[in-house]
Chains A and B, each alone.
Chain A
Amino acid sequence: MGNCFSDVAGGRAAVGGSAAAASAASGNDAVDHFLKSRGLYGSQIELSFSATNMRDRDVLSKSDPMLVVYTKGRDGTLTEAFRTEVVLNSLNPTWIAKHTITFQFEVVQSLEFHAYDVDTQFHNMDVKMLKLEEQQFLGEASCVLSEVVTRPSRSLTLDLVYREDPMVSGNPRRCGQLIVHAEECISSKTTTEMILKCSNLEYKDLFSRSDPFLLISKIVEVGVPIPVCKTEVLKNDHHPVWKPVFLSIQQVGSKENPLMIECFNFSSSGKHDLIGKVQKSLADLEKLHSSGEGEHLFLPPTAGHNHQNKELKSQIFVEKFSQSSRHTFLDYLTGGCELNFMVAIDFTASNGNPRLPDSLHYVDPSGRLNAYQRAIIEVGEVLQFYDSDKRFPAWGFGARPIDGPVSHCFNLNGSNNHCEVDGVQGIMIAYTSALYNVSLAGPTLFGPVISNAALIASQSLANGGRKYFVLLIITDGVVTDLQETKDAIVKASDLPLSILIVGVGGADFKEMEILDADKGDRLESSTGRVASRDIVQFIPFRDVQSGEISVVQALLAELPTQFLSYMRSRNIQPNM
């Protein structure tokens, strides 16, 4: 989905809620979710495959290998995704057929590869018709898609292994190597930049102001249009000119695909009124730009009234239209940029005594994870692949370490000197041991951990590092000193840092939403400085129903956009 953002000196993104009843796009979950977020990052990747030193199964000639690609679900189930062609008579095949897959930053995309030697009698068949149980199994390998795309060469070499007898445990035999290579599709890299403006937006009623924003959606054959991009909200403006919007060809399908552009009046209640809309493809918008003319907005017929669209006096103009090739998130990764994960855990007394089953910190001997552990794993498992040394700073706050005063930023590993642990497992181990080595106390303050994270980020900057830091704060309660937290966030807003705050437990987190500029105004410090970027995302943790996207995944999905806006605004190139 979308890769659209407003620039650093940013305006507000709209708050969530369904569109007004007059719009055809109302009441749809995808729209609701989109309006609550700033768009998901998905990029089309083409995977190509080759192998070396494969097993020789045929007596008289070499193997004729084919590769089958599976996606692996969280529970381990394999779903076949793709088959290459058969390469004849080779132990070092390079397959021509490529597999197109959408890279989704917020998901751990596990892949498994099975290689087969295809028997001569089947060589003229379409590979899709081949029955795998009739072929000779040559070996298997597995990996996660992020491992492939973060390699500088975008190629990952895996050992193919073969188990002689699945019943016998022991080391599987190595039988060659598989090389998986990823390329980003051109359609993801070509971006259109447009500056849109409207004139003479109609007053909805005499006393209300118009705070307009645009929502651009892709029109699909069946169903409700899919939102792709939205502009910032301009206050009290009847001749709005929004900041440039960037759309990649991949997001909209093609330059000729029709797009719906709707102009809404922002309402803090979440029910935005539709002011008017137009339907244009990117190619149409390009023509509007070159002619300099405007297009009248229209309102669709409301139920019960006449069946005509009502044409409005308001017009939309395309002030700028240019196409270019822009560096993508994956380009920066290939160029050596990293995402560094940091975590801070709330050890205040409101969580409850960790030894009692009703505590949010209860470590269940049966192995069932508590909310803190689930949040750590969901975020850590995705982010770990983007960190080359997998050493993560981990802190606790709001507790008294043994024989000490209350600390609002203590090292989770109990060390006095260094705050890092090894891998996601290291975080889990340090967390459980900290639980029994500290006394839960309070109050809930984020200022110290945020300042500490900001210090690490700025030290890395000073050392010339190309690292972007992600701080995950997991808390059960509302922050006590809101202003000190705001001050720390404003100071950090100019650094390569994003802060994800996950709220666990049943507290009312309404006040915490203030920290997330998506839902309100830009944060202001006590000295009059204003946050230059929105670096905080907040979400209450809740269990998902099957099929729903996890709330933490929705948080993670914003990261590539925040990363890109930081890099692009400073003109930092990927250095490829």
Chain B
Amino acid sequence: MSPFNLKATSSFQTLEITVLSCEDLCINGRSVKKNTCVVVRTDPLNFRETTTDTEGGSYPSWDQKLALDMSIRETCITLEVHCRTLSVDRIIGSARMPVNDFMGGYFPQGYLSFLSYRLKDPKGLDNGIINVSVRLRVPEYLSRGK
């Protein structure tokens, strides 16, 4: 959990990211059986995570919405897929989501973007795909004028 209350400052915004699902996850060359979860982070201290999927195997799905505060100067969000048991927590795949993929340019305020990324395992090899949807929460003082 983030140690700071960042909502009051105008140089931060809230990212609503719904972690949808992953496809074709492998661990040690074989399909993942269970116990995967996704961590969404901007830096080592600022992150949110989903609950653990115990049934989906190599095609887990969460459909979980996470709210993550981030600086408006942030350029990239990291998505990590963890395989977690009571004793071990391994990152089996990660992807970087550039902020430009859902922000800036001609995207209207509050646009719901559906994005998917190739996951790479710690060795840099392809390991499946992650599907998310992202929306920037419009700060209160901006939406009041509408």
A315 to chain B, nearest CB (A): 17
Q: Which of A237, A455, A530 contacts B117 (CB 8 A)?
A: A530
Bound CA–CA A529/B20 (angstroms): 16
Bound CA–CA A462/B98 (angstroms): 20
A570 at interface, CB cutoff 8 A: yes
* Interface size counted on chain B using CB atoms at 8 A: 28
Bound CA–CA A65/B94 (angstroms): 72
Report the stretch among B7-15, B34-42, B104-112, B136-144 that lies at the interface: B104-112
B137 to chain A, nearest CB (A): 16
Pair B129/A530 contact, Cβ less than 8 Å: yes
Decide yes or no: A529 and B106 within 8 Å by CB, A9-B21, A235-B24, A237-B59 being known contacts: no
Pair A533/B107 contact, Cβ less than 8 Å: no
Report the stretch among A388-396, A416-424, A520-528 that lies at the interface: A520-528
Pair A9/B111 contact, Cβ less than 8 Å: no
B31 at interface, CB cutoff 8 A: yes
1-53 of chain A: CB within 8 A of chain B: 8-9, 11
Pair B106/A462 contact, Cβ less than 8 Å: yes
B65 at interface, CB cutoff 8 A: no
A304 at interface, CB cutoff 8 A: no
A291 at interface, CB cutoff 8 A: no
A8 nearest in chain B by CB position: B114
B119 nearest in chain A by CB position: A528
- Contact digits for B84-122, partner A, Cβ 8 Å, 1 yes 0 no: 000000000001101001000111100111111110100
Pair A461/B131 contact, Cβ less than 8 Å: no
Decide yes or no: A9 and B59 within 8 Å by CB, A528-B96, A529-B116, A530-B116 being known contacts: no
Bound CA–CA A462/B106 (angstroms): 6
Q: Which of B101, B105, B111 contacts A529 (CB 8 A)?
A: B101
Q: Which of B57, B106, B111 contacts A459 (CB 8 A)?
A: B106
Q: Which of A464, A529, A571 contacts B115 (CB 8 A)?
A: A529
A458 nearest in chain B by CB position: B106
Bound CA–CA A464/B118 (angstroms): 31
Pair B114/A532 contact, Cβ less than 8 Å: yes
Q: Which of B21, B108, B113 contacts A462 (CB 8 A)?
A: B108
A234 at interface, CB cutoff 8 A: yes
A461 nearest in chain B by CB position: B108
Bound CA–CA A155/B107 (angstroms): 35
A572 nearest in chain B by CB position: B112
* Interface size counted on chain A using CB atoms at 8 A: 26
Main secondary structure of the interface of A (DSSP, over half): loop
B106 to chain A, nearest CB (A): 4
A37 to chain B, nearest CB (A): 23
Pair A524/B21 contact, Cβ less than 8 Å: no
A494 at interface, CB cutoff 8 A: yes
**A306 neighbours in B (Cβ, 8 Å):** none
A236 at interface, CB cutoff 8 A: yes
**A458 neighbours in B (Cβ, 8 Å):** 105-107
Q: Which of B58, B113, B114, B120 contacts A9 (CB 8 A)?
A: B114
**A530 neighbours in B (Cβ, 8 Å):** 116-118, 129
Bound CA–CA A461/B111 (angstroms): 9
A529 nearest in chain B by CB position: B117
458-497 of chain A: CB within 8 A of chain B: 458-459, 461-462, 464, 494
**B58 neighbours in A (Cβ, 8 Å):** 236
**B111 neighbours in A (Cβ, 8 Å):** 461
435-470 of chain A: CB within 8 A of chain B: 455, 458-459, 461-462, 464
Pair B106/A461 contact, Cβ less than 8 Å: yes
A531 at interface, CB cutoff 8 A: yes
A459 to chain B, nearest CB (A): 5
Bound CA–CA A462/B24 (angstroms): 35
Bound CA–CA A459/B24 (angstroms): 35
Q: Which of B31, B108, B113 contacts A236 (CB 8 A)?
A: B31
178-199 of chain A: CB within 8 A of chain B: none
495-516 of chain A: CB within 8 A of chain B: none
Pair B116/A531 contact, Cβ less than 8 Å: yes
**A234 neighbours in B (Cβ, 8 Å):** 59
A235 nearest in chain B by CB position: B24
Bound CA–CA A530/B132 (angstroms): 11
Bound CA–CA A464/B111 (angstroms): 11
Bound CA–CA A236/B57 (angstroms): 11
B56 to chain A, nearest CB (A): 8
1-38 of chain B: CB within 8 A of chain A: 20-21, 23-24, 31
**A455 neighbours in B (Cβ, 8 Å):** 106
Bound CA–CA A569/B111 (angstroms): 12
Bound CA–CA A235/B59 (angstroms): 9
Bound CA–CA A404/B23 (angstroms): 47
12 interchain pairs (CB within 8 A)? A8-B131, A459-B106, A494-B113, A528-B95, A528-B117, A530-B116, A530-B117, A532-B131, A533-B114, A569-B114, A570-B114, A571-B112
Nearest 3 Cβ contacts at the A-B interface? A9-B131, A458-B106, A530-B116
Q: 4 more A-B contacts (CB under 8 A) besides A8-B114, A532-B115, A532-B131?
A: A458-B105, A461-B111, A494-B113, A530-B116
Chain B positions within 8 Å of A, measured between CB atoms, are 20-21, 23-24, 31, 57-59, 95-96, 98, 101, 105-108, 111-118, 120, 129, 131, 133
